[in-house]
Structure 1
Amino acid sequence: MVDLAAIEAERARIREAYLHADRAASAASGVHHVALLSSDVEATVRFYQEILGFPLTEVIENRDYQGSTHFFFDLGNGNLLAFFDFPGLDVGPYAEVLGGLHHLAISVDRPTWERLRDRLDAAGVPYQAESESSLYFRDPDGARIELLADPLGEMYGTKIL
């Protein structure tokens, strides 16, 4: 059985030791891109551009694997979502593993959230709605995506940044 009290005590210890109200500015200037894998470039483009409304911004050859395509979508605010395909390389099906992607949360405003929920319905994409502001669904290769109707820097109405 999991000792929930011990887990909360450890969480409190970490919070006390590392979470500072007067924290220094981040050394980073932002996320340039997050890269996921794609088994089918066109299916991925159709899903992210036509259903979710994230414009395709570039399609180039992947410098690290000959014949592989590296392509990018605009997520707004200078953020990009990228993909690689690896033709001829059996990478296997998507799997959530320790150190791997659990989900990618993408912030959208409430009207866009509602419009994209309707697009997911129209496209027959199953999703799970949580807390009246999160939609969780899988992309064509199984990666879990969350559309979050909270502004950047907030989580369920609480400032986290």
Structure 2
Amino acid sequence: MVQPTGIHHIAIMTGDMKMQIEFFSDVLGTPLVAIFDMHGVPGGIHAFLKLDGGCYFSLVQLPETAETPITLGLTHAGTGAGNSAPGTMQHLAFYVKDEDQLVAMRDRIRTKGVNVIGPLNHGMCKSIYFAGPEQLTLEVACPGMPVTADRWIDPSVLAKIGIGVEEAKAFANPDGYDGEGGIVKQPDYNPAKPHMAYPDDRYKMMLAVPDEALASMSEHAEPPVAA
């Protein structure tokens, strides 16, 4: 069965790339492994800091980003209990393997002068909480007790959001799928489905181009620095 098995990278917008790189390298200890002009995005800069297992924390800076206002309760939540617009990131939790590492991370962050709350015990994990530059709401968590559907799917919460018993069973057991060797064609444009926010005519043109042709036109396979 094919499904996502992790996060390759999560990309955060920044108006000050250097400041964010310094924070995540110095305060959290994540090494900078890549920074280059963003592929296909004039004026954009893309950076990657390595976590583990093929997972990266990524930063994006565009020419207009620094002038885009941060609004708590709209663009940013500000705390783990705060509100922000639908589709935005409420908070980001990094992973460590056990409570010893969690406490060591708390020590590291505090030695850099950054305030940290926790660990707090959530059963499924223990977590520490702190802020990053530009109002990022950050967490580091380690595993707790096993997360199993019979113990952690609360029927009363399902009812609050309108999920019935049979729907919940289906969501907990997605249909198996192994792919079809790449033969599945682009579906017809359906406005009821989610779509990227490209200009309408450009987006529909991109959808009409064969996969191989679009990949060829958009290839940036070589590193920016010669071997």
TM-score for the superposition, normalised by structure 1: 0.71
Which one of 42, 45, 59 corresponds to residue 66 of structure 1?
42
State which of 86, 90, 105 in structure 2 corresponds to 1:98. Answer: 86
Count of aligned pairs:
132
2:148 and 2:27 map into 1 onto residues whose CA distance is 29
Deviation at 1:75, TM superposition (A): 1.4
The match for 2:20 among 44, 65, 77 is: 44
Instruction: Give the share of equivalent positions with the same residue, in percent.
Output: 23
Counterpart of 2:55 in structure 1 is: 79
Where does residue 154 of structure 2 map in the other structure?
none
> CA-to-partner distance for each residue in 1:17-47, whole Å, 9 max, x for gaps?
xxxxxxxx44224322111111211111111
CA distances 1:93-116 after superposition (whole Å, capped 9, x unpaired)? 152322100111111133332222
- 1:43-69 deviations in Å (ceiling 9; x for gaps): 111111111111111001123532221
Structure 1's 59 and 88: CA in aligned 2 closer, same or farther, altered over 3 A?
same
- Cα RMSD of the aligned pairs, angstroms, is 2.1
What are the equivalent positions in structure 2 for 1:11-160 lying under 5 Å apart?
25-89=1-65, 90-93=67-70, 94-95=75-76, 96-109=84-97, 110-129=99-118, 130-131=120-121, 133-150=126-143, 156-159=144-147
Between the two structures, name the one with larger relative contact order (CA 8 Å, sep ≥ 6): 1
Is the partner of 2:10 in helix, strand or coil?
strand
Which residue type is aligned with residue 117 of structure 2? Q
Distance in 2, matches of 1:30 and 1:63, equals: 23
- 1:67-99 Cα deviation digits (max 9, x unpaired): 221001111111111110123342221523221
Report the more deviating stretch, 103-112 or 123-132. 123-132
SS, match of residue 33 in structure 2: strand
**Per residue, is there more strand in 1 or in 2?**
1
Displaced runs of 4 or more, over 6 A: none
**Aligned CA distance change for structure 1 residues 26 and 142 (closer, same or farther; 3 Å):** farther
Q: Partners of 2:103 and 2:121 in 1: how far apart?
A: 14
CA contact 1:106–1:148 (8 Å) conserved in 2: yes
